[in-house]
């Protein structure tokens, strides 16, 4: 593979998965709304158009950093292909300080709310 190890940002196929902008300049009013083993999910507002979004922050530093990075690449590739009116829309992914910011359409409730019939 060109550019070193698998999943390197030097690989154009990997680099194109991520926006180059600084997400801290694009999103404001971040408030944590959920937490899991992967990291945390935040409510936020896109400063460019005032759209409310959900941001899942996933760190890829520390233990098993390569495995975490590979999982992020897989998730971004999957989300980019997912296009259906009944799924949450993917807005893009940004990188900052060894953390991926996966930006999604914001929806009230959660998957567990749906399963419980709320």
Q: Which of 22, 79, 17 is nearest to 48 (CA)?
A: 22
CA triplet 9, 70, 36: central angle to 5 degrees? 120
Give the Cα separation of 38 and 47 in Å (integer): 26
Burial class from Cβ neighbours inside 10 Å (0-12, 13-18, 19+) for residue 55 reads: buried
Cβ within 8 Å of residue 14, ≥6 positions away: 7, 8, 73
The reply to whether 57 sits in an annotated binding site is yes
- Residues annotated within a binding site: 57
- Residues annotated within a binding site for ATP: 57
């Amino acid at each position: 593979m060109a550019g070193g190890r698998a999943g390197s940002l030097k690989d154009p196929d990997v680099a194109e998965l991520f926006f180059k902008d600084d997400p801290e300049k694009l999103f404001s009013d971040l408030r944590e709304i959920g937490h899991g083993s992967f990291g945390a999910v935040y409510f936020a507002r896109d400063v460019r158009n005032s759209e409310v979004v959900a941001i899942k922050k996933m760190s890829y530093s520390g233990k098993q950093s390569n495995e975490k990075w590979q999982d992020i690449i897989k998730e971004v590739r999957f989300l980019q292909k997912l296009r259906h009116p009944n799924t949450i829309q993917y807005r893009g992914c940004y990188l900052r300080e060894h953390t991926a910011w996966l930006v999604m359409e914001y929806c009230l409730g959660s998957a567990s709310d749906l399963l419980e019939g709320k």
